[in-house]
Amino acid sequence: MAVSAQSLQPSRAGILSLIWRSSLGKKYVMAITGLGLFIFVIAHMLGNLQIYLGTDKINTYAETLKSTPALLWTVRIVLLVIVILHIIAGIQLALANRRARPQAYSNKKVVASTLADRTMLISGLIILAFIVFHLSHFTLGFVNPQYLHYVDSMGRHDVRRMMIIGFSNPFVSVFYIVSMGLLLLHLSHGVSSCFQSLGLRSTRTIGFFDKLAKVSALLVFLGNCSIPLAILAGILK
């Protein structure tokens, strides 16, 4: 029986749409956007750690970031698109996964799994809630509008003072530290997983990628949490 060529080879438009429609394509979207967000998290932490170097360093850094609005807004829009894609793809994949097993097993234990990989959806959604608060708090000034009007001795926005006053509120600091704990969990699975989704991991390299994920997730947690802890302890004033 002759098989039509059409059924063997999808059209170009069909192939393009597979990136979003297929299970593997959507995992590429998760992996690439996840890696992008991971790189942002590292860069954001390294930038903020400059608070330990004094008022001048961190305020200069903040001023530099905002000095080229075109670049700043390009980065902001790219990040927003990446976050939205990561969330929509993640929720769609999770819903499809739930549909695939309508009847649960009597024993709920998942072989070879960790707490991190079973809680990716919930840790991700709580981190999203944190991001919304964090942006409202420090970037948009919805929570405390006066934050954006702090000025240092050189007439620049006083980011250092904003951070110190912001984290002096123990509720803010506790929510921050809990969210960073969830980010630690999320990254400890996600950073290694994205290399598998992109086909870059193997039995030979899985040990390296798992370590990379755990160590980098822990460093992000420690680096970020050190700031509110240092402020609450009165080391940064």
Q: Which is nearer to other proteins, 56 or 117 (CB)?
A: 117
Strand, helix or coil for residue 103: coil
Report the nearest approach of other proteins to the CB of residue 208 (Å): 14
Pick 50 or 119: Cβ nearer other proteins: 119
Among 57, 161, 201, 214, binds other proteins (CB under 8 A): 201
Find the binding residues for other proteins in span 36-95 (CB under 8 A). 93
Any contact of residue 6 with other proteins (CB under 8 A)?
Answer: no
119 counts as binding other proteins under rule CB under 8 A: no
Nearer to other proteins, 8 or 70 (CB): 8
Q: Does 4 bind other proteins (CB under 8 A)?
A: no
Is 234 a binder of other proteins (CB under 8 A)?
no
Is 2 in a helix, a strand, or coil? coil
| Encoded amino acid at 15, one letter | I
The only residue of 6, 69, 70, 102 in contact with other proteins, by rule CB under 8 A: 102
Three-class DSSP category at 157: strand
Q: Nearer Cβ to other proteins, position 140 or 200? A: 200
**226 binding other proteins? (CB under 8 A):** no
- Does position 18 bind other proteins by CB under 8 A? yes
104 binds other proteins (CB under 8 A): yes
Q: Is the dihedral of CA 175, 52, 214, 19 positive or negative?
A: positive
Q: Which residues contact 60 (CB under 8 A, 6 or more apart)?
A: 156
Asked if residue 67 lies in contact with residue 209, where contact means CB atoms within 8 angstroms, the answer is no
Burial 88-124 (b: 16+ CB within 10 A, else e): ebbeebeeeeeeeeeeeeeeeeeeeeeebeeebbebb
